[in-house]
Chains A and B, each alone.
Chain A
Amino acid sequence: MSVRQQAYAALRICYFNGIMPLWRSPLLIGAVFLTPFSFLFFLYVIAPRALFPFGVVGGVLFTALFTGNGMLNDAAYLRLERQLQQVFVASPVRPLAFLIGMALSELAFALPAMVLFLGILLWVHPFSALGLAALVGVVLLTWLMACTLGFFVSTLFQQLREIWPIGTLIFSSLSVLPPVFYPATAIPAPYQWVAFLAPSTFAAQLADRVVGLGGGITTSVPAFNGPLFDLLGLAALTLLLASAATYFSRWRES
């Protein structure tokens, strides 16, 4: 199959694996939306109003990050419970096309919630069209990073039940603990750098900066204190995880 046909295969997988189930059980959208919305509501009630926009950006990124959890579970489900990944491996569809198709399905699930959070953000904190474009870019990078991470981790397991707690563990510690819903400046200065251990910190800081909220980590190394560093960090991590996912994705067990 040509590159065009592979791209078409990915879109087709997104259609029947993502859009079709969503269309048939729209309640799934609510499920994606509920957790980040609860965090946001919590922030709204207890935090100073100035911090609220950070929380809304957090909602967008939380949704993008949790596509990785969906990917982790769906990939494992299709491979272990349904034996359907095998049906796609033993076919002209390239592993990468399957991977992208699956990731696009997760994006389809997350999209309605993301759009809602973006709407709230534009309402409480208006910003430029350029900022919006940049934010969409950050969200897409975050989605890619999360999905490749999710897929990669799913390949390490042979039992569905072992995977259930892993997703919550990984993606909650990526989205709730690090400065995703709150600015990194809220962490005592000497410890702010610790947040860089979480890949999501790069995404969150970058997102806060492109919409004009600021509030990034200040370290003693000036080169680490700007959006360029955040972007490079996020891009490098995404690239690393994407290569790991494609390489280790065990299209063949050994």
Chain B
Amino acid sequence: MAALEARALTKLYHGRRGTVRALDQVDLDIPKGELFAFLGRNGAGKTTFIKVAATLLLPTSGEVRLFGEDVVAHPEAVRPLIALVPQEGRPFFHMTPREHVYEYLRVRGASAESAGARTSEVITAMGLTPFENEPSYRLSGGVQQRTLVAMILATEAPFLFLDEPTLGMDPFGRRQVWEVIRRAVRKGSTVLLTTHYLDEAEQLAQELAVIDSGKVLYRGAPEALKSTVKREVRLQFSGGFTAKELAEYGQVIQDRNRLVLLTMRSRVRELTDRALERGGEVTVGPVTLEEAFLELVGRGIEEEQ
């Protein structure tokens, strides 16, 4: 049995400017004990999916089951099994990180002893020790976000929904959060997270789904998604070439003052030599998830137009 099963899940929002199809006949299974990531442009439908699955929003049609329990018909059976970091949530302004974690665990029914132990553990693991006794209104945005994530991860709930958990965190903070997420998975939790950091998805996720306009465009391992890009290497140029010149060698992505070219291994020597001759700079590397994502979603955008 999968931890989460969605069948033909559809959500329409009716607004003044017509109807938005936020989820469109989504079928998705997330295996138990897996770390699963949602990728997708802004407005793709990631948060909508999470809200429906976390019993916060009613779908228009279709079905979601969590550990076999129907989310729509029996939310009270699902809720003890879940915990959620909402997108752009904020902690209570008067409470400290330690109080957040401890009080939330107590409210969820943990004993004083177990709540105390888990609080200390999470506070340390998330690097919150220097701030643990500061009220949250005095904490920076990233530390507030870490407080919220600590509070949810400490529950060790069987299913964890993390909607952009590392938003606004510095690279150290993100890595600490990753470690605590991985530990939750090792302890048996299933995690569904959304992120706009593709390196994060690549580092963390065992599987991912790319959502666009409420549909699942791709679902599988990050490695497999990368191999959908039909080029072997990624060249990044600062100067030396124009986008037009590079176009005949492969796919060009304009990235501010840099040009990224996805091409075949056999063209690398020629291109790097010429770039250096012309006084440009070039780096050579493997194709990343970002390129695969841009190509996959970009194709969708072209079809729309």
Q: Is B109 in contact with chain A by the CB < 8 A criterion?
A: yes
Q: What sequence of 0s and 1s flags, for each residue 72-112 of chain A, a beta carbon within 8 Å of any chain B beta carbon? A: 00000000011110111111111000000000000000000
Residues of A within 8 A of B85 (CB): 87
A140 to B66, CA, bound (A): 40
B65 to chain A, nearest CB (A): 16
A9 to B86, CA, bound (A): 21
A24 to B91, CA, bound (A): 16
A87 and B55 contact, Cβ closer than 8 Å, known pairs A5-B109, A24-B135 = no
| CB under 8 Å from chain A, chain B span 58-89 | 58, 75-76, 79-80, 82-89
Residues of A within 8 A of B86 (CB): 83, 86-87
| Interface pair B109/A83, CB less than 8 Å apart | no
| CB under 8 Å from chain B, chain A span 236-254 | 251-254
| Interface pair A9/B56, CB less than 8 Å apart | no
| Interface pair B107/A13, CB less than 8 Å apart | yes
| Interface pair B104/A87, CB less than 8 Å apart | yes
Q: Is B108 in contact with chain A by the CB < 8 A criterion?
A: yes
A84 and B76 contact, Cβ closer than 8 Å, known pairs A12-B103, A90-B161, A91-B107 = no
B141 to chain A, nearest CB (A): 14
A1 and B80 contact, Cβ closer than 8 Å, known pairs A86-B86, A87-B89, A93-B108 = yes
How many residues on A have C-beta within 8 angstroms of the other chain's C-beta atoms?
Answer: 30
Within 8 Å by CB of B109, from A1, A24, A84, lies: A1
A89 to B99, CA, bound (A): 19
Residue of A nearest to B58 (CB): A254
- Range class of the B interface residue count: 35 or more
Q: Is A20 in contact with chain B by the CB < 8 A criterion?
A: yes
| Interface pair A83/B82, CB less than 8 Å apart | no
| Interface pair A9/B109, CB less than 8 Å apart | yes
Q: Is B54 in contact with chain A by the CB < 8 A criterion?
A: yes
Q: Is A137 in contact with chain B by the CB < 8 A criterion?
A: no
A90 and B84 contact, Cβ closer than 8 Å, known pairs A253-B58, A254-B58 = yes
A16 to B57, CA, bound (A): 27
A90 to B54, CA, bound (A): 6
| Interface pair B57/A87, CB less than 8 Å apart | no
Residues of B within 8 A of A13 (CB): 107
A16 and B58 contact, Cβ closer than 8 Å, known pairs A83-B87, A86-B89, A94-B76 = no
| Interface pair B90/A252, CB less than 8 Å apart | no
A13 to B103, CA, bound (A): 8
| Interface pair B107/A93, CB less than 8 Å apart | yes
| Interface pair A91/B108, CB less than 8 Å apart | yes
